[in-house]
Each structure stands twice: as C-alpha cells, then as structure tokens.
Homo-oligomer: A and B are copies of this chain.
C-alpha cells in the first residue's frame, strides 16, 4: 500500500484542493470512530511522521485492527503512508482536513 492511489482524481499541486462528495463522506466516516480519531490525533501530533507500531493504541487493540483503521484513514485522504524498510510511516495530510472543515462550514452556512 504505497499511498499513491487517490481514487478521486486529485491535483495535489500547491493550491487548496476541494473534496469530492465521495471523499467528503469518507472523511466524515473516518472521523466518526473515537479510536480512529485518537489514532489520527497521535499522527497529527507527531513531528513529521511515525510508524504504526509507535501508536499508543497499538497495545490496546490487535495489529489487524490498527491496520484496518490506518487503511480507512488513508482511503479518506486524511493520512498518507510511506514504506520505510520494515516500517510504515504515517503522515498527516492537513490539507485534506482543512478542505473538509472548509466544505463542512461552507455547506452549512446561511447562504450556500
């Protein structure tokens, strides 16, 4: 899983991108589970990147469960994964979170 499959035709150039309906729903769902949100929080708090096994949840749930959550976070575009030897580095994608926040507040504003 090499983090290179945006399933939504994303430019990812330099400007703030917009979320498709699919990705918007995926982000919302990814944020909905407390454990997954906790994992995302740890990734976001880390400087740069950190491997899966460094997550504090790694000793609360099985490795399979962690892997499942990581995949869902990656599918939604909230994180990216980079293989670094035996490890997988997790990098927070702040642009996706920002795009989600933008669209959320914009689609619920008085005059859309």
Known: A28-B32, A31-B32, A32-B29. A41 touches B108 (CB 8 A): yes
Query: For chain A residues 63-112, which have a beta carbon within 8 Å of chain B?
Result: 92, 94, 97, 101, 104-105, 107-110, 112
CA distance A41 to B28 in the complex (A): 15
Known: A97-B108, A108-B97. A25 touches B34 (CB 8 A): yes
Size of the chain A interface, CB-CB below 8 angstroms = 22
Evaluate contact between A105 and B101: CB separation under 8 angstroms: yes
**Nearest opposing residue in chain B for A98, CB measure:** B105
Which residues on B sit within 8 Å (CB–CB) of A25? 34
Chain B nearest CB, measured from A31 CB (Å): 5
Evaluate contact between A31 and B97: CB separation under 8 angstroms: no
Evaluate contact between A108 and B44: CB separation under 8 angstroms: yes
Which residues on B sit within 8 Å (CB–CB) of A104? 31, 97, 101
